[in-house]
Amino acid sequence: RGEPRLAGRRVVVTSGPTHEPIDPVRYIANRSSGKQGHAIARALAALGAEVTLVSGPVALPDPAGVRTVHVETAREMLAAVEAAMPSDAAVFCAAVADWRTDGAGAEKMKKEAGGGPPALRLVENPDILATVARRAEGRPALVVGFAAETTKVLEHARAKLARKGCDWIVANDVSAATGVMGGDRNTVHLVTGEGVESWPTMDKDAVARALAERIADALKDRQWV
């Protein structure tokens, strides 16, 4: 028996949602459970990689054998990812909020009688995947993004691959009927520069193991970092 396939390789994985505060008690969030991202971190560690998992708020235990960093907001996630660099590969499975409020209030917003509902002003969050994929120096050899779509899954995934500058995109349909967000199974398409591979529906651990093997294949003959 030889060395584990990813021995000596460093990989950063993001997982879960981000929470963007509105005031001290309210936040903007999404339905990501972290199941897919945490499974990827576990699968990479099982192949011997040194994994840093940057996780938004989830109800899952920290995976054994993985360094887990807990964050809440997109900006905290970006800072934690940057702090975990350099790495040989990075996998961005988190469902990062695209927008945050334009300055969360320090006090709880009051429901004033007759005042009507407040208007939330939103501003764009940093794009963590694009920031890492476009690093001029110290870019991971392999940058893998996800695409969560509800229509034209492959078309939007290909556009994201080009726009964000990553090497692969794992595309999944997150329409409510699929139950993918929060559920135990996933149906993914691996979009690379060479084309598209559509994988059968599997549980998220199996998707994670298959992706980890593909990452090990891609890093096999690379000596840098």
Catalytic amino acids?
30
**Interface residue with ligand PMT, options 174, 191, 212, 215 (CB under 6 A):** 174
221 is in an annotated binding site: no
Which span sits near ligand PMT by CB under 6 A: 33-41, 42-50, 60-68, 105-113?
33-41
For residue 86, whether the previous peptide bond is cis, meaning omega lies within 30 degrees of 0, is yes
**Interface residue with ligand PMT, options 6, 9, 33, 189 (CB under 6 A):** 33
Applying the rule CB under 6 A, the residues between 49 and 88 that interact with ligand PMT are 74
**Interface residue with ligand PMT, options 36, 52, 55, 87 (CB under 6 A):** 36
3-class state of residue 5 by DSSP: coil
List CB contacts of 102: < 8 A, sequence separation 6 or more.
121, 122, 123
State both tokens at 38: 């945490």
Question: For the window 133-172, what string marks contact with ligand PMT as x by the rule CB under 6 A?
Answer: ------------xxxx-----------x-----------x
Closest CB to ligand PMT among residues 42, 204: 204
Task: Tell me how far, at minimum, the Cβ of 223 lies from ligand PMT, in Å.
Answer: 27
Applying the rule CB under 6 A, the residues between 177 and 206 that interact with ligand PMT are 180-182, 204
List CB contacts of 55: < 8 A, sequence separation 6 or more.
14, 15, 16, 34, 37, 38, 62, 68, 69, 70, 71, 94
- The strand pairing partners of 188, in sequence order, are 172
Question: How many residues bind to ligand PMT according to rule CB under 6 A?
Answer: 29
Burial of 77 (0-12, 13-18, 19+ CB in 10 A): buried
- Considering only CA atoms, which of 193, 188, 151 is closest in space to residue 37? 188
Which span sits near ligand PMT by CB under 6 A: 19-27, 90-98, 108-116, 210-218?
90-98
**Interface residue with ligand PMT, options 5, 6, 34, 189 (CB under 6 A):** 34
